């Protein structure tokens, strides 16, 4: 059996709010294969964002196990977890999270800086990533000089520059109009197809989710159903 890009086994997450325990996730098991294209979908408060944070190694489960490429992430120290996250997972957020006064090429190169990669190689790889998302002519532009759709494509290039095995996109079209959002989705789909990186979208938008090969519906902290897209069958 192929080692999954990431796997969660019986994962729970409990928060304490004002002395009251809130069960955000109540025993979720999920396996994402290398190169898969999937969506986690659910209403506000369903637990989908909590699940994304756990899959992205941005938070730890209260119980259960998360493995990345077969490696048990729940047993790692915070510093080991940060290294694994940097080497294996790319993130795309609704709010782009770019450095506004920094050129696109340097925004994209930032994850490589944390790996200790030299400036020349960082910029070469960042330039190639921007070419891959169709922004080769915008390398020197600051984030504030780019449209919303261009900023999101810079964010996608930044997520992919480290050649991760998994890309997590949290509401990647949430701040974009319909046409621009469609262009961003086309970029993600092409990169998934051409590079083989597994892509998992987190969204409340069913139309966006139905563009993927698999939809994982979350409600009340549990996976309600997990099914292939009708378009993928």
* H or E stretch at 131: helix 119-132
Number of compact structural domains in the chain: 1
In tens, the pLDDT along 20-42 reads: 999 999 999 999 999 999 999 99
Q: Which pLDDT score, from 0 to 100, does residue 106 have?
A: 96
Q: Rounded CA gap, 61 and 51, in Å?
A: 9
Per-residue confidence (pLDDT) for residue 233, from 0 to 100: 45
User: Is there a domain that residue 134 lies in?
Assistant: yes
| Residue 146 backbone dihedrals phi, psi, to 5 degrees | -110, 155
> What pLDDT, in 10s, does the model give residues 167-189?
999 999 988 999 999 999 999 99
What is the chain's mean pLDDT, rounded? Answer: 93
Asked if the structure places residue 1 within a domain, the reply is no
**23 vs 35: CA distance, rounded Å:** 31
- Kind of pairing between the strands at 89-93 and 166-170: parallel
Task: Name the CA dihedral angle for 65, 71, 74, 77, rounded to a multiple of 10 degrees.
Answer: 180
Residues of the chain whose pLDDT is less than 50? 233
Q: How many CB atoms lie within 10 A of CB 139?
A: 18
CATH no. for residue 62? 3.40.50.300
Asked if residue 113 belongs to a domain, the reply is yes
Q: Structural domain of residue 214, as residue ranges?
A: 6-232
Which pLDDT belongs to residue 1?
Answer: 67
């Amino acid at each position: 059996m192929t080692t999954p890009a990431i796997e969660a086994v019986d994962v729970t997450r409990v928060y304490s709010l004002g002395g009251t325990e809130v069960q955000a996730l109540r025993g979720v098991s999920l396996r994402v294969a290398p190169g898969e294209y999937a969506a986690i979908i659910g209403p506000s408060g369903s637990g989908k964002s909590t699940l994304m944070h756990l899959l992205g190694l941005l938070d730890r489960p209260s119980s259960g196990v998360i493995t990345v490429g077969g490696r048990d992430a729940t047993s790692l120290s915070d510093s080991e977890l940060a290294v694994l996250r940097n080497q294996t997972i790319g993130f795309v957020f609704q709010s782009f999270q770019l450095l506004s006064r920094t050129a696109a090429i340097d925004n994209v190169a930032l994850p490589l800086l944390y790996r200790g990669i030299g400036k020349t190689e960082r910029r070469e790889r960042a330039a190639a990533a921007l070419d891959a998302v169709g922004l080769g002519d915008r390398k020197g532009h600051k984030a504030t000089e780019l449209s919303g759709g261009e900023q999101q494509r810079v964010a996608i290039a930044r997520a992919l520059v480290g050649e991760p095995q998994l890309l997590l996109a949290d509401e990647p079209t949430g701040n974009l109009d319909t046409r621009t959002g469609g262009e961003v989705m086309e970029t993600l789909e092409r990169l998934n197809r051409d590079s083989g990186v597994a892509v998992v979208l987190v969204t409340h938008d069913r139309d966006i989710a139905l563009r993927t090969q698999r939809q994982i519906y979350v409600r009340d902290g549990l996976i309600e159903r997990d099914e292939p897209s009708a378009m993928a069958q």
